[in-house]
Structure 1
């Protein structure tokens, strides 16, 4: 299968490219900084592109988007602008299958596994302040994808963390009680969508159940980089 990965140089993108190559797929890794892209292997094509301007999807069987930006209080437009370009490029190239990464925070809800601190303090604070512009633009992105005529899937992870291996991750429609998703599991979920039609035209939440950090550990990492 010929797979285009957008945002390939990010934490999830690199894992996705590696997993796809290991599975025997041909991969076009799209990044603005190809010189720093660390993954190598047969079947890999690294392409320099800014997807808000140009989206090289010609010849692909599926486009997997892991595009993302850090939180900022400034207006965020990456998700909506890039997605509009991706949709247009896919229509021109005749490519139908699209999978995009969004976030569980685009639809804030009570997490049964989150407890008082996450549900009553952290989630309302983040979604109303440093994450507001990001999640607002993600919602625009989701609407653009849903309104398209493509074979789309929106994937919503929870709080992302790094892990070396893929676990038996959990999938549920729209939202999940889980509060963490490893980047390895997110990458594996995205890759699975390339060949699985179960979630076409649907939004799926993906969470990790094994080997997750504590909420305190995640807070320390975000606050102090530890």
Structure 2
């Protein structure tokens, strides 16, 4: 299958391209900085394009069988538009070129329900602090992005992971249309779910939690990394 991956040069995007090519799919990795992308085999094509450039997006979507968006930006105070503007350009390009399958990433926070199995401090203090203060601009734009996807007529699936961390191996992760217990999702598991959904009929018009259940990091370590970059 021919897949185009946006956000390919990020940590999740690199996992997606590696897993997809290893599975025998042909991948177009889209990045603003192609010179920094690791070389791949004959199934990998690297294209320089900005998801905020509608014409460039149309060019790389042409001829594809499916689209994976692994777009991501760090927390910050400045307004974020990458998710919503990017998916606006992507869905328009898909319509122009007749591409149906779309899989993209938002966050488990988009379920808008309390974290199951968590205590008062996590549910009422810690997670709201990240959702409404530290990551407010990111999550606001993720909501706009989900509305763009929801309003399109493509065969779309949105994956909503929890706190992302790095591992080399795919685990026996959980996937469900409701918010799952647990605090973390490995990028390897997220990438695996993105590729699997993109190359199958998958869960069309669904919003799915992806949750890693083994080998997860300590919460304090994740807080330090996400909030303070240490």
Contact 2:172 2:212 in 1 (8 A): yes
Map Cα deviations across residues 95-137 of structure 1 (whole Å, 9 max, x no partner).
0100010111223432234333321221111111121111111
Aligned length: 226
- Per the TM alignment, residue 223 of structure 1 is displaced from its structure 2 partner at its CA by 4.9
Counterpart of 1:12 in structure 2 is: 12
Residue 85 of structure 2 is matched in structure 1 by 81
1:214 shift after superposition: 1.8
Hey, which of these two has a bigger chunk of helix by percent?
2
Matched with 2:126 is: 122
Residue 42 (structure 2) aligns with = 42
Q: Say whether the 8 Å CA contact 1:5–1:27 is kept in structure 2.
A: yes
Aligned with 2:139 (options 135, 158, 169)? 135
- Matches of 1:188 and 1:179 in 2, distance apart? 18
Any conservation in 1 of the 2:196–2:202 contact (CA below 8 Å)?
no
Match of 2:73 in 1: 69
1:24 aligns with: 24
Match of 1:150 in 2: 154
SS at match of 2:61: coil
Structure 1 segments unaligned to the other structure (5+ residues): none
Structure 1 residues 37 and 15, CA gap change in structure 2 (3 angstroms):
same
Kept in 2: contact 1:103–1:156 (CA 8 A) = yes
2:214 aligned with 1:210: yes
1:129 alignment partner, SS class: helix
Q: TM-score, normalised by structure 2?
A: 0.94
What SS does structure 1 have at the residue aligned with 2:199?
Answer: coil
Specify the SS of the correspondent of 1:4: strand
CA distance in 2, matches of 1:16, 1:213: 21
In structure 2, the CA distance between the partners of 1:163 and 1:114, relative to structure 1 (3 Å rule), is farther
Q: Which residue does the alignment assign to 1:190?
A: 194
